[in-house]
A and B are shown apart, each in its own frame.
Chain A
Amino acid sequence: MADVFSIHNKAAKILVVDDMALSRVTGRKLLIELGFKAIDMAENGEIAWTMIEKAIADQAPYCLLISDWMMPVLDGMGLLRRTKKLESENYLPMILSTAESDAGQVVEAVKQGIAAYVRKPLTRESLLSALERVTAKEQQSG
Chain B
Amino acid sequence: MAKQLLKLPKADVTSFDEYVVIQINGALLANQVTEIETILTKDAPTIPWIINCFKSDQVMPQETRMFLGFKKLNPKICLIVNSTYRVGLVEAGLSTALPSAPSLKQALTTVGIKYKPKIDTEFINPFLDAAIRVVSMQAGVSAEAGKVFLVKEPIPSDISGIIPISSPIFTGIFSLEFTKEVFLKMVSKVFGEEYLEISPEIEGFSAEMANMVYGSAKGKVNEKGYTLMPALPTTVRGVHLSSGASVPVAICVPIITDLGIIHIVIRMDS
Which A residues are within 8 Å of any B CB, using their own CB? 19-23, 25-26, 70, 98-105, 119-121, 123
B222 within 8 Å of A by Cβ?
Answer: yes
Contacting residue for A26 out of B133, B138, B211, B219, CB 8 A: B138
Known A25-B190, A26-B138; judge A119-B208 contact (CB<8 A): no
**From B135, which residue of chain A is reached at the shortest CB distance?**
A121
B88 within 8 Å of A by Cβ?
Answer: no
Q: Are B137 and A123 in contact (CB under 8 A)?
A: yes
Task: Please tell me the size bucket of the interface on B.
Answer: 20 to 34
Q: Are A121 and B138 in contact (CB under 8 A)?
A: yes
> Total A-B residue pairs with C-beta atoms closer than 8 Å?
59
Residues on B with C-beta less than 8 A from A25 are: 190-191
**From B213, which residue of chain A is reached at the shortest CB distance?**
A99
Q: In the bound complex, what is the Cα–Cα distance between A20 and B187 (angstroms)? A: 13
B27 within 8 Å of A by Cβ?
Answer: no
The smallest beta-carbon distance between B219 and chain A, in angstroms, is 3
Contacting residue for A101 out of B137, B202, B208, B219, CB 8 A: B219
Q: Are B191 and A98 in contact (CB under 8 A)?
A: no
Q: Would you list which residues of chain B between 224 and 268 have a CB under 8 Å from chain A?
A: 230, 232
What is the interface of chain B mostly: helix, strand, loop, or mixed?
helix
Q: Would you list which residues of chain B between 144 and 195 have a CB under 8 Å from chain A?
A: 190-191
Q: Are A121 and B133 in contact (CB under 8 A)?
A: yes
Q: List 30 A-B contacts (CB under 8 A).
A: A20-B207, A21-B191, A21-B202, A21-B208, A22-B190, A22-B204, A22-B208, A22-B209, A25-B190, A25-B191, A26-B190, A99-B211, A99-B212, A100-B215, A100-B218, A101-B215, A101-B216, A101-B217, A101-B218, A101-B219, A102-B218, A102-B222, A104-B55, A120-B211, A120-B216, A121-B133, A121-B134, A121-B137, A121-B138, A121-B212
The smallest beta-carbon distance between A104 and chain B, in angstroms, is 8
Q: In the bound complex, what is the Cα–Cα distance between A121 and B219 (angstroms)? A: 15
Residues on A with C-beta less than 8 A from B211 are: 20, 99, 120
Inter-chain pairs besides A22-B190, A101-B215, A120-B216, 6 sampled, C-beta below 8 Å: A20-B208, A21-B191, A26-B138, A26-B190, A102-B222, A103-B219
Q: In the bound complex, what is the Cα–Cα distance between A121 and B133 (angstroms)? A: 9
Residues on B with C-beta less than 8 A from A21 are: 191, 201-202, 204-205, 208
Residues on B with C-beta less than 8 A from A22 are: 138, 190, 204-205, 208-209
The smallest beta-carbon distance between A26 and chain B, in angstroms, is 7
B71 within 8 Å of A by Cβ?
Answer: no
Residues on A with C-beta less than 8 A from B201 are: 21
Counting chain A CB atoms within 10 Å of each CB, the highest count among B201, B202, B215 belongs to B215
Q: Are B215 and A120 in contact (CB under 8 A)?
A: yes
Q: In the bound complex, what is the Cα–Cα distance between A101 and B190 (angstroms)? A: 23
The smallest beta-carbon distance between A70 and chain B, in angstroms, is 7
Q: Are A119 and B216 in contact (CB under 8 A)?
A: yes
The smallest beta-carbon distance between A33 and chain B, in angstroms, is 12
Q: Are B230 and A120 in contact (CB under 8 A)?
A: no
Q: In the bound complex, what is the Cα–Cα distance between A19 and B205 (angstroms)? A: 11
Residues on A with C-beta less than 8 A from B55 are: 104
The smallest beta-carbon distance between B186 and chain A, in angstroms, is 10
Q: In the bound complex, what is the Cα–Cα distance between A70 and B208 (angstroms)? A: 12
